[in-house]
Chain A
Amino acid sequence: AQSVTQPDIHITVSEGASLELRCNYSYGATPYLFWYVQSPGQGLQLLLKYFSGDTLVQGIKGFEAEFKRSQSSFNLRKPSVHWSDAAEYFCAAVKAAGNKLTFGGGTRVLVKP
């Protein structure tokens, strides 16, 4: 079955420190991959997406993600976290020629002052 896994449920990081959120997928063929962020009481906002090509993808708000086919991973990173980055982050995947997003369980990020 197709699945997306985010191993870390919670991550606490100090403001100004770097952040890395892990995402692994299990699909027959490489899916299209996305990272979304959800702030409390809000819907989901797209941070970045990967279809093919360059394995390092730049997104909004200073985020980037690296696709590694050999590890079936699509990890999200930010060099220096701001207090406003406290939110829940979701990795998602969709098959080519499909519109059904499959989400990971999410990682809640807490930012310490």
Chain B
Amino acid sequence: KAGVTQTPRYLIKTRGQQVTLSCSPISGHRSVSWYQQTPGQGLQFLFEYFSETQRNKGNFPGRFSGRQFSNSRSEMNVSTLELGDSALYLCASQWSVGTGRETQYFGPGTRLLVL
């Protein structure tokens, strides 16, 4: 079974631009979560989508948004990019009945550099 895939793997943008990252979960998984990883703040939860609905949200500004499609693929968007948005963005998928016991399977990440 194919793992979680994320595209693109690397991205360079300039301040003020917007960016869209894509995540394809493992086949059959219905939940997708997004995390931001930076050297200063570590791994932080952005949001989780399940059945095309946002189920959980972290403490990030409204510039960060996401969505999920009927095939469970998810995208996250960051508008008006700031230098501090440079990070590795990780996507994780799970089957998800929301018990917390399920393993989240992570993709390789998209590395975003904002200049």
Query: Interface residues, chain A, CB within 8 Å of chain B?
Result: 31-32, 36, 41-46, 49, 51, 90, 92, 94-106
A51-B101, A95-B100, A96-B99 given; A103·B106 CB < 8 A: no
**Stretch of B11-19, B40-48, B69-77, B79-87 that contacts chain A:** B40-48
A98-B98, A99-B98 given; A46·B109 CB < 8 A: no
Q: Write out the residue numbers on chain A whose beta carbons fall within 8 Å of the beta carbon of B101.
A: 32, 49, 51
Q: How far is the CB of B21 from chain A (nearest CB, A)?
A: 14
Contact with A along B81-115 (1 / 0, CB 8 A): 00000000010101010111111111111000000
Report how many A-B pairs have Cβ atoms within 8 Å.
66
How large, as a class, is the contact surface on chain B?
A: 20 to 34
Contact B100 A96 (CB under 8 A): yes
Query: Interface residues, chain B, CB within 8 Å of chain A?
Result: 4, 31, 33, 35, 42-45, 48, 55-56, 58, 90, 92, 94, 96, 98-109
Contact B42 A32 (CB under 8 A): no
Q: Write out the residue numbers on chain B whose beta carbons fall within 8 Å of the beta carbon of A106.
A: 42-43
Q: Write out the residue numbers on chain B whose beta carbons fall within 8 Å of the beta carbon of A94.
A: 100
* Chain A, interface SS category: loop
A99-B48, A99-B55, A100-B56 given; A44·B98 CB < 8 A: no
When chains A and B are docked, how far (Å) is the Cα of A64 from the Cα of B96? 25
Contact A44 B90 (CB under 8 A): yes
When chains A and B are docked, how far (Å) is the Cα of A94 from the Cα of B100? 6
Contact B56 A99 (CB under 8 A): yes
Q: Closest B-chain residue to A41, C-beta based?
A: B108
Contact A97 B100 (CB under 8 A): yes
Contact B108 A97 (CB under 8 A): no
When chains A and B are docked, how far (Å) is the Cα of A72 from the Cα of B107? 30
Q: Write out the residue numbers on chain B whose beta carbons fall within 8 Å of the beta carbon of A31.
A: 100
Contact B98 A97 (CB under 8 A): yes
Q: Write out the residue numbers on chain A whose beta carbons fall within 8 Å of the beta carbon of B45.
A: 100-102
Q: Write out the residue numbers on chain B whose beta carbons fall within 8 Å of the beta carbon of A96.
A: 99-100
A101-B45, A103-B43 given; A43·B103 CB < 8 A: no
